[in-house]
Structure 1
C-alpha cells in the first residue's frame, strides 16, 4: 500500500470518529453519515463527498477484482480535499472569522443625511449600516428595508436626500416591523448555524437580514462584528 493510500486510510478513520461523534454514536463500527446528517449542519454540507470517500475506502480495503494492484489510486489533490473536510469538521469556521469587524464597520449616526449614506453604501457595497450608541451597542440599522417601511407607513410620505436618520429612526429600530429582522450571536457560533439562521423564515413576510456578534450573544452588549448572508455564502463557496 502506498504512503498516500495509507495516509488516506488514517484520515478516513479520523472522519469516521468526527462524524460518529456528531451522530451521538461514538461506539459504532460503521460510518454513520446519515445519522449525523440529521443532527449536524457541517456533516450535511459535506454529505455527498463523505459518501464518496466511504466508497473509495471500501474499494481500497475490500477489492472485488482479481487483478494485481489497486483499482483506485489516491491522488495528492484528492487526499488534500479529504483532509480539508476533516479539518473543517474538527475546526469549523465561526462567527468570529466571517463578516466585518467593528473597526472596519461602516456605521450611521442620527445626524447623517440619507443621500450621503446611500451614495456611500453604493460605493462600498455595504447593505446594512449599524446605528450605535456611545457604548457601541446597536440601537438600529439603516438599510433598504427601513426606507421602504418608512414609505409604506403613510401613502403621502416622500424621501429626500437631505433627510437624516433621525427623521426615519422609528423604521430603523430593531423592533421595527419590516421585512428584515436581526439576530445576535456569540463569537464561537458556527458558520453552519449562521447559515440556518439566514435560510429560516422568521415570519411569513420577514427574514434575518444581518447577524451581530457580541461577547455573549446579547443585544445590550457592544457589537464586535456584522455578518450578512453574503459573508456566509462566501465561506460556503470556498
Structure 2
C-alpha cells in the first residue's frame, strides 16, 4: 500500500486513505486513546447543526462525524475524495459524494455550514480550499474546523513533540492496515501551523470573525468563522 508525501499530491493522498479505510476508525480511536470521540462531540456542539439546515462535512472519511452532526435533524452530506473511505461508511444513513475540496461540485451558496475534522491538513492548498468552501456556503453561513494543533502548555508541548507523535506512529503500526500511512500522518501533524497561523489563513481566504477553542491542552483546536453577508 502507498503513503503520501508532504507535497500532498491529491492522487497520492486519496490512494493512501483508500488503503487504510477498512481499519481507519479503529486506528484513530487507538492512536488518540479514545479522545477522538470527545473531540467529535465538541465539534458537533460548536457546529450546532439545526433542523432544516444543509451541512457539508468535507474530508468526512467514513462519515462518522457526519452521522453525529445529523442527529439534531440537519441534512448533512459526507464528502471525501477517497472512494475507499466512503465505501467503508456506506452503512451510515447519510448521503455521500466523492468531491475534491479545491473543485467542489456544488452551486454557490448551497450550504448553511461547512465543517472539516482532521482533514484540512491533507489539502494540497489550504487557502484555496477555504476559498472554494466559502463559495458553496451561503452569506452568513459558518465554517467549523477541528484539527490537530500546538499545545499551549510548555510541558505538554514538549511531550507532544518528543513522545506523543512517535507513539501515534507506533500505535498506527499495530492498528492499521497501512502502517507507513501513519508515518505521513505524524509528519503532517508536525508540519501543521499553530492556532493563530491557521486563523490567519482562514481570514485571508475571506472568512470573518475567526476564533478558536483549544481542546486537550491545545493538542487539538476547533476554529470557527462566518462567511460575510452580502
TM range (shorter): under 0.3
TM-score with structure 2 length normalisation? 0.22
Greater strand content: 2
Q: TM-score, normalised by structure 1?
A: 0.22
Q: Which has the larger radius of gyration?
A: 1
Q: State the structure with bigger RCO (CA 8 A, min sep 6), 1 or 2.
A: 2
